[in-house]
Amino acid sequence: MQTNAIKETNFNFPGQSKYYKGKVREVYTVDNELLVMIVSDRISAFDVVLPKAIPFKGQVLNQIAAKFLKATEDIVQNWVIDVPDPSVTIGKMCEPFKVEMVIRGYLSGHAWREYRDGKRILCGVAMPDGMKENDKFPTPILTPTTKEDVGHDEDISREEILAQGLVSEEDYLKLEDYTRRIFQRGTDIADEKGLILVDTKYEFGKVGDEIYLIDEIHTPDSSRYFYSEGYQARQDADEKQKQLSKEFVRQWLIENDFQGLDGQKIPEMTDEFINEVSERYIELYEHITGDKFIKSDVSDVLKRVESNINNALTELR
């Protein structure tokens, strides 16, 4: 059993001015202009970080994001400067916009739950009557959310974003345009792999007057994918769609009586289960990218990561 996963890091880099630990990512700020983002192997579900890490999960997410950021840089420039390690990206420190751009090609997830409860307007956008869960929208809809420092992000309309001055109108129109074009590119790439990009979110930031695409894109943690084959047959038969996401982890937790509620205990994560999740993430990688996954050397994973970052920072600073 492989136990040498990145559960957490505690590095101190030259010029380090800030450190942030999220549920999965750890971000070190260097010289107030570079961000070192380490994608750990932690896994979260129901807003809870599970007690054991999943080998190679961080590598999977980091390398998918790197591939898709590269594949969309002709549409909008992005924050990436270097990917010095399979689990690490170093990029420009941007001032993030206070909204996340969510785009949906299909009536799934949160949009479906709102629709099922009788709502026909989401984030100021009308949704047609007579749709079923997982039906395709006539055209993809933009359903932005606020980006909160604490608590849950909230749905917000374009009108509210502009009225509250969260983003200038000039910038917001650019964000909408970029979002639609990146989503179309992601849709086309997914289609070639026999997949449907259902919905996703993008984050943008600024350096001076320049807009950059930041964070991750088109990973199974930030996006929902269906398998194309059999999609229509499943819709016609009112069956659930076959998903390519970490939904299987949530299902396992639900089956074991855990949904992040008070008093509930996280079920025991056996070595067998951890291996299975790791293999599923590798399968996700190979499906989404079309590339063979090459496991990185994890004999001393923290030493490898720290060394690769220090070498890259020596070149960049």
What is the band of 40 on the pLDDT scale with cuts at 50, 70, 90? very high
pLDDT score of 244: 86
- Across the range 53-64, mean pLDDT stands at 97
Q: Which two tokens stand for residue 228?
A: 């194309």
- The Cα 197–Cα 224 span in angstroms is 6
| Coil/strand/helix, residue 200 | strand
Q: Provide the mean pLDDT of the chain.
A: 95
pLDDT score recorded for residue 248: 85
Q: Tell me what pLDDT residue 149 has.
A: 72
**Domain extent listing, the chain:** 96-243
Q: How far apart are CA 279 and CA 150, in angstroms?
A: 33
Query: CB of 186 within 8 A of CB of 197?
Result: yes
Could you please report the per-residue DSSP string of 160-194? HHHHTTSS-HHHHHHHHHHHHHHHHHHHHHHHHTT
Q: What is the pLDDT of residue 3?
A: 54
Question: What's the pLDDT at 4?
Answer: 86
Distance, CA of 212 to CA of 206 (rounded, Å): 6
Distance CA(214)–CA(147), nearest Å, equals: 14
Confidence class for position 1, pLDDT limits 50, 70, 90 = very low
- Condensed to tens digits (0 to 9), the pLDDT of residues 181-206 reads 999 999 999 999 999 999 999 999 99
pTM listed for this prediction: 0.93
* pLDDT score at 138: 98
Instruction: Give me the pLDDT at residue 153, please.
Output: 83
Fold topology of 96-243 = D-amino Acid Aminotransferase; Chain A, domain 1 (3.30.470)
What does the pLDDT look like over 117-148, one tens digit per residue? 999 999 999 999 999 999 999 999 999 999 87
pLDDT of amino acid 47: 84
CA atoms within 13 A on the CB side of 96: 13
> What is the average pLDDT across 151-156?
85
Instruction: Choose among 15, 40, 50: nearest CA to 29.
Output: 15
Amino acid at 45: A
Over the stretch 262-305, which tens digit does the pLDDT of each residue have? 999 999 999 999 999 999 999 999 999 999 999 999 999 999 99
